[in-house]
Copies of this chain bind each other. A is one copy, B any other.
Amino acid sequence: MPRSRLILITGMTGSGKTTLARYAEEHGYSVVTMGDVIRDLAKERGLEPTPHNLGLVAEDIRREEGDASVARRCIEKLRRKEEARVVVDGIRSLKEVDAFREAHSNISLVAVHTSPKTRFLRLKRRGRSDDPKDREALSERDRRELSFGVGSAIAMAEHMIVNEGSLPELKKAFEGLMEGLNEA
């Protein structure tokens, strides 16, 4: 059985976090998506998963239960899973990183960076239900996530993947990261 490991992925909206999580899945990692906690909460509260509603829920839960509230719910999910290798998609602050570090001994914090201009062009193509629909909506989303402290998590990442090019390039960068982690 492989050594237990938790990869935490952080980055701005549209930077490529979910794609990285999918690549990790191909390496036998189980995926926990922090945004799913927010989507579940919205459902519990009878709210449609619009960008606006999900944004409000993300703010509310942190205000009500603290900066690490979403992380704590993910850690509960992890306990039930009992998987050796898990990737967590969607870290938004160092408080969340700290919560995972308290719960797990082998953590790698990975940031994925894409310029605001490229993220906007990608999101226009993707069109997930909670994706910002125009530049102003993306700016608002960026401001909210920066207010959670996602910038600090990105700045303090142990590994930085730049995702400005093609998917094969991103995959190559991720494979390089995996090799580095497996050698460490």
Task: Using CB atoms and an 8 Å cutoff, list the residues of chain A in contact with chain B.
Answer: 12, 94, 111, 113, 115-117, 142, 146, 149-160, 162, 164
Candidates B142, B151, B158; contact of A151 at CB < 8 Å:
B151
Candidates B115, B142, B149, B156; contact of A157 at CB < 8 Å:
B115
In the complex, the 5 A-B pairs of residues with the closest C-beta atoms, listed nearest first: A151-B151, A151-B152, A151-B155, A113-B160, A146-B152
- Given A94-B146, A146-B152, A151-B152; 19 other pairs, CB 8 A cutoff: A113-B113, A113-B155, A113-B160, A115-B157, A115-B158, A115-B160, A116-B158, A117-B158, A146-B155, A146-B156, A149-B151, A150-B155, A151-B153, A151-B154, A151-B155, A151-B156, A160-B160, A160-B162, A162-B162
